[in-house]
Amino acid sequence: TMPATGGPARQITHDQAPKWWPRWSPDGETLAYVAQDSLSKLDLWLIPAQGGEAKQLTKTQGDLFNILWWPDGQSLVTTAGPPGFILRFAMTGGPPKQLTERGLFANDDLRWSADKKHIYFNLWRDTTTKNIWSLSVSDGSLRQLTDFSGRPGFFGRAFAADDTYFYFTWVENTGDIWVMDVEREE
């Protein structure tokens, strides 16, 4: 970490395992991230914000990608693959709750809607087109929000959401930034 006003950086983790998708807990006290375990599986790890000993939260058979904290900070949402699920892991441990059907693969960033009723994500539904989808956390229903079928190009890694819009990059020849009104789906 580094102070926003500048100054020296402070190392939080000290092991040599590669790490991805660091995310601060809602209260700012814990950092969750994905790292390789001793079997080279990608699992969820937690470490206090001030540093200290890391704790492995999951020991999965497949690999986990991405992290999204549940708004109350009591669980983490992540994508798993193969075969492809969105899963919710309780901070207290135990088996995950499967939020989506088997066979989808959403390996890019997960984002909350402003009202915290939906999770937005990029999803491959076939081998040629990736689109942005919405997952209802109340009933598990999925809704496709974009349609780039038959269009050359691909989604970039940038994806953000605010109260009314979400923003994403779409790369045809060069990267462009797009914006979509979530309410009107335009």
Beta strands of 26-73 (E only): which ranges? Answer: 30-36, 42-48, 55-56, 63-69
pLDDT value for 181: 76
Using one digit for the tens of pLDDT, what is the confidence trace for 90-103? 998 888 998 887 66
Using one digit for the tens of pLDDT, what is the confidence trace for 13-69? 888 888 888 999 999 999 999 998 766 788 899 999 988 999 999 888 778 888 999
* Residue 7, pLDDT above cutoff 70: yes
Amino acid letter at 103? G
Distance CA 53, CA 1 (A): 16
142-144 and 154-161 beta bridge pairing: unpaired
* Residue 115, pLDDT above cutoff 90: no
Average pLDDT of the chain, as a whole number: 82
**C-alpha torsion 179→180→183→185, nearest 10:** 170
pLDDT value for 14: 86
pLDDT value for 71: 95
